[in-house]
Structure 1
């Protein structure tokens, strides 16, 4: 009995020592390997859930935006948000509103996971470099530093999942009347790879990367900076118990999404049109001359801009902006708030950048 008591006491002491060691490592900013891996997994899960929830909530508007971006101006089918949604409902039914959403989620879940996690790591790395400069030892993240971290995160996430975005665009545009049907994500990927080559999977990548810098960068910069300002200024009684309410955070996310998408939208239109190059099975896709007399061909991003503006006017760069704006406001807001709520449930720090 005495030996058992001794063993129990030794186990208790060992456990206390281990807990003390973990606490010491935490204070010193060092995480045990297993704890660090668990934290990474939690962050990735939170980011993936945030992306899936936010995109599914606005899937009908996402599809309508793409259809508006690529439709032929001389055979208008979708003319505005309400009319466009009604037309899709009437011609394709309820499922038509969510066509391509499975592919979209298959892309956005890993994209969102990588994006949020990359932002956390990039913000920490950029802040560390900034603090190495004389006089900046105690500096905090500024809006400009957040913009840089967001840009890095956007480029990494976009590049990692771009082929999924490319085939998602084609799955979204095709209809039952298309001569050939992509049966799903992997069928579309394999078909494009076989018939058009590996480079086709990255058509429109350059305008996407250029567009993602202001878009994702501004999303994070505006959201985080607004939250910081509200926490410090505490205007209108929006701060309760040193925390922002869900409604206030949703408003911050909406403002961030509106600013980012307005700046980057023309590049999104050009990216989508470049993705359609070489595919003749899409319904109502705009052609090179806008009249159906020439195949859709662009030699590059600049050429796509030039032909679009020349044949359709500057306003064509903002086709689909209205449904996109209606989509972006709740989408970005839901993504940010869902991310923070899931991390809170999983026991990870609430702030995106800590």
Structure 2
């Protein structure tokens, strides 16, 4: 009898506990607070969306990405091509179709986690900045300004770039090497191991400082311009946009294209310096990017300022914008495709939080 009473008591307590838990979950749901499992799933979906967006956008413009890097480090006394079309033709003629996509596998291996972390970090930075901004202004309806979006984008860019920088470093070397290079990196992991063994851990972060400085205006302006343009279009409804409809894919592509153009133009010289610094210490870099000219000095820079000074002194100010044309042709569709792909994939996966929220 006592046993039956104990069981009944235990069952009753269990039922009460279950009801209380359900009531708490219902209360949290009404207040807009998600259960931990739901939050983790939403984070994973957001990361997947960002990764897919990065992979699609970079693969679409891989030939232009490789040409840009080759132009950035090309020997000024042994120029083999000057323009976008002539450069693509030269790569096709000397290395074939595969040459156009050399380094894209490594690039995707880098850009997928980079893009995932970048988009997710941007959303979290926006949420944090919004909370601080509303508490500081005592206005719970306040929205992010373009300057605050710029700050959130800069934070996201620095976090994402720092997490994946070693992969970007070796990707640059793999992209530069050709079939005739004295030494061949067989892939990303082989390149990472070789650089670590021959040049040390710090070599994996060569060019990190100009990357950090450059990513602030680049990624920051990308997000700020994209979000601000979308908000302006939704509020002002120019060009005959419907009053009650969200922006279409074409309009979002145009916003992304404008964002990419502004960001890459401001940050491009730092990207050139970063790429050149990544070649420092590579014993085969001279024969690959400097040609066989005996009067060309070794590729050596003591730091970012020294790299700027030597580049401008030896090749002129225009050298800081080498590869800008193919990069401009590349970055406009790349940024546009990335933003739209991100939002489309999130819609498919059913993620509630949007980049604009």
How does the TM-score come out when normalised to structure 1? 0.92
Distance apart, 1:346 and its partner CA: 0.4
Q: Does the C-alpha gap of structure 1 residues 284 and 194 become closer, same or farther in structure 2, counting only changes over 3 Å?
A: closer
Query: Quick check: 2:117–2:159 contact (8 Å CA) kept in 1?
Result: yes
Question: Does the 8 A contact of 2:290 with 2:296 survive in 1?
Answer: no
Shift of 1:278: 1.0
Counterpart of 1:140 in 2: which secondary structure?
A: coil
Answer yes or no: is the 8 Å Cα contact 1:238–1:248 preserved in 2: no
Instruction: Write the distance in 2 (CA, Å) between the matches of 1:42 and 1:97.
Output: 32
Match of 2:240 among 237, 240, 249: 237
Matched, 1:149 2:116: no
* 1:308 paired to 2:301: no
Pair 1:348 & 2:354 matched? no
Shift of 1:341: 0.2
Report whether the alignment pairs 1:209 with 2:206: no
| Residue number in structure 1 paired with 2:6 | none
Structure 1 residue 23 displacement after superposition: 5.2
- Relative to structure 1, is the Cα distance of residues 254 and 185 closer, same or farther in structure 2, using a 3 angstrom cutoff? same
Aligned equivalents of 1:38, 1:336: Cα separation in 2: 21
Q: What SS does the corresponding residue of 1:348 show, helix, strand or coil?
A: coil
Q: Secondary structure at the match of 1:133?
A: helix
Instruction: Show CA shifts across 1:316-342 (max 9, x none).
Output: 000000000000000000000000000
* Structure showing greater Rg: 2
Post-superposition CA distance 1:29-77 (Å, at most 9, x none): 3210100000000000000000000000000000000000001011001
**CA 1:246–1:328: 2 relative to 1, 3 Å:** same
Q: Find out whether 1:133 has 2:136 as its counterpart.
A: yes
1:119 aligns with 2:122: yes
TM-score, structure 2 as length reference: 0.91
**Structure 1 match to 2:195:** 192
Q: Does the 8 Å CA contact 1:258/1:328 hold for their aligned counterparts?
A: yes
Deviation digits for residues 155-184 of structure 1, max 9, x if unmatched?
Answer: 000000000000000000001111110000
Aligned counterpart in structure 2 of residue 81 of structure 1, from 73, 79, 84: 84
Partners of 1:149 and 1:291 in 2: CA distance? 48
Cα 1:139–1:314, aligned 2, differ >3 Å: closer, same or farther? Answer: same
Q: After TM superposition, give the deviation of residue 79 of structure 1 in Å.
A: 1.2
Other structure's SS at 1:336 match? helix
Where does structure 1 differ by over 6 angstroms across 4 or more consecutive aligned residues? none
Which residue of 1 is the match for residue 49 of structure 2?
A: 46
The CA deviation string for residues 195-231 of structure 1, in whole angstroms up to 9 with x for no partner, is 0000000000000000000000000000001001101
Residues 22 and 339 of structure 1, relative CA distance in 2, 3 Å threshold: farther
Q: Does 1:285 align with 2:274?
A: no
On the 8 A contact 1:124/1:353 being kept in 2, the answer is no
Query: Distance between the aligned counterparts of 1:291 and 1:353, measured in 2?
Result: 55
State the match for 2:274 in structure 1: 271
Given that residues 55 and 105 in structure 1 are in contact (C-alpha distance below 8 angstroms), is that contact kept between their aligned partners in structure 2?
yes
Distance 1:187 1:46, change over 3 A: same
Q: Deviations over 1:128-167 (max 9, x none)?
A: 1111214443210110010000000000000000000000
Report the equivalent of 2:11.
none
Distance 1:134-1:159 versus aligned 2 partners, 3 A rule: same
Q: Is the 8 A contact 2:177 2:288 kept in 1?
A: no
Unmatched 5+ stretches in structure 1: 1-10
Deviation at residue 286 of structure 1 after TM alignment: 4.0
1:65 maps to 68
Helix, strand or coil at the partner of 1:243:
coil
Deviation at 1:294, TM superposition (A): 1.9
**SS of aligned partner of 1:308:** helix
- Report the more deviating stretch, 164-173 or 131-140: 131-140
RMSD: 2.0
The change in CA–CA distance for 1:291 and 1:257 in structure 2 (over 3 A counts) is farther
Tell whether 2:265 aligns with 1:262: yes
Whether the 8 Å CA contact 1:111–1:158 is kept in 2: the answer is: yes
What is the CA-CA distance between 1:350 and the residue it aligns to?
6.1
Secondary structure, in 3 states, of the residue corresponding to 2:299? coil
